Every structure is written in structure tokens, then in C-alpha cells.
Amino acid sequence: LNVGANLGQRINIMDPDDPLRYQILGRVNFDLDIGADWYLRASLIGNIYNDFDDISRPSSSRLPRVRSNIDRYLGDGETGISSLYLEKRGMLSSELSYRAYGGILETMFSGVGAEVLWEPFPSRFAFGANLNYARQRDFDAGFSHLSYGVLTGHASVYWASPFENYDAAVHLGRYLAKDYGATFEVRRTFDSGWQVGGFFTLTDVPFEVFGEGSFDKGIFFRVPLNALLNNNTRASYSAVVRTIQRDGGARLEGFGDALYWEGRGARPDALARSRH
């Protein structure tokens, strides 16, 4: 059993009534190795301070409100269960890995699903797929759920380019609001471990139906903490910044392409760089 505790934050930006709202919270993470490649993972959050109480703008979304009710989750779910799920990982061959999972997957959805990743050696391409049934959680960060459910999944192609440590990926499939389309992303990993990138998603939802922002897009970054902590830790700080959170083009957080990015540092080109 591994247990960790830390301080964290949740940030809500671009609300026309207040462009920056935030929460300071305590987080406790649990990882229990049950055996035979089964794991129980949990994350609990406890509010320390937030200014979400006065969010009063109702969602105007014309799509199923899979993300645009973020104000309800931030306000009513300031303390509770962030995630609680079982996960099974393994290898079907030297080039084919998988994981299966079920439980409370993230802040807004529970569900069951599976992901596979094929990484033919020594190709710079890799291919993945995932399929999930997701059920929308109630706003209070507990065990109750709303009536909305959806079958969602994507097929993915990854390319580890030979140019300045850039990676690119395309994900094709069905999103949480039952729209169909593709997500495109590019990221660069520096020798120091810093990582920056951007993404955008286009689906069959017209821009005028999607709402403010027209389509989902954003930037993300990852900052390794080994220099700050002065040890050989793999811990890092990551964040995604969007102009505004809408319902179109929404995917489960962390349950679609985790296998590739978690193992990115062990791919042949990354190992070759580390030797130099």
C-alpha cells in the first residue's frame, strides 16, 4: 500500500462574472497492489479554501451537460471522492499492453472500460484504442449518480517524431456528449523533463451549437519536481488550460491514452537520448 498526501488546487478560468476562481485543497492518494497485476486506486480531496460559492451562471449548453455544469461540481463537491477504482494491467505480447478498470474514474464520471496499446518495435508509430461505458456522477463528490450514461471510445495513432523531441497524436471516436470527431495534439519533451503542448478537437457539433469558444482547445504543461526536491523522484506538476469548458469534444480525464504517455520514456528513441 502506497499512501501520499499533498496540497493541490482547482482553477476555474474565463467565467465572465469572475475570470479566475480557485480552490486550495488537501489530497490523499492511495495505491494498493492487490496482486496478479490488480490495483485499487483512490484519491480523496478536502477543501481548505475556495471562492466557488457565488458562481451563479446556469449552463446554456444545448448538448448533454457533461462538462458545462462544472460550477455545480466545484461548489457542491468541494470535499469528497475524486476517484476510486480497480485497475488491471498486463502484457498480451512484448508489443501489446492493456489495462481494464472500473469504478469512480474522475470528478464527473464513473464507469468501466479498457485500453490497449500496440507499439511495434522499433517503429516510431504506436496504435491504441479504448472503449468505456460512463455514468455521470452527482455533484456532491459521493457515491450517487445522475441518469445520464454514454458509451464512449477512441482509436489513436501516436508518432514519436525525430524532430526536437516532438510527439503527435490523433484520436478518433465518440465523446461524452455523444458527438463524433477527432482530437489532435502535439507536445514537446525537453531533456530537463519539462513538457509543453497543445490540442484541439473538432466534432460533428456545429460551432453555434457548441457555444462560446466554438470548439474545444487548450494548452498543457508538465513540470518535473526532481530538481526542486533534490532527489530522483518521478513526481511532477501538470496542468491543462482551456479558454472555457464546454460539452462538445469532452473525453474522460486520464482514461483514453494513458498507456502511451506513461511509457513514453521507455520507448527506443527516448532511451537513446538518455544514454547521450
pLDDT, one tens digit per residue, over 22-33 is 778 898 999 999
Which residue numbers in the chain have pLDDT < 70? 12-19, 52-59, 212, 226-235, 243, 267-276
Contact (CB, 8 A) for 179 and 203 = yes
- Stated pTM of the model: 0.88
Residue 9's nearest CA partner among 57, 45, 36 is 45
Q: Give the pLDDT of residue 114.
A: 97
Contact (CB, 8 A) for 156 and 169 = yes
Q: CA angle, 100 as apex, 106 and 30 as ends, to 5°?
A: 50
User: Which residues on adjacent β-strands are paired with residue 103?
Assistant: 85, 111
Q: Give the pLDDT of residue 18.
A: 62
- Residue in this structure with the C-alpha cell 469528497, named with its chain if needed: 80
Cell of 274: 538518455
Residue 145's nearest CA partner among 104, 194, 177, 185 is 104
For residue 242, the number of C-alpha atoms closer than 13 Å in the C-beta half-sphere is: 20
pLDDT, one tens digit per residue, over 170-220 is 999 999 999 999 999 999 988 777 889 999 999 999 988 887 678 888 888
Residue 208: in which H helix or E strand, if any? helix 207-210
Q: Give the pLDDT of residue 155.
A: 97
Q: Give the pLDDT of residue 241.
A: 78
Contact (CB, 8 A) for 135 and 149 = yes
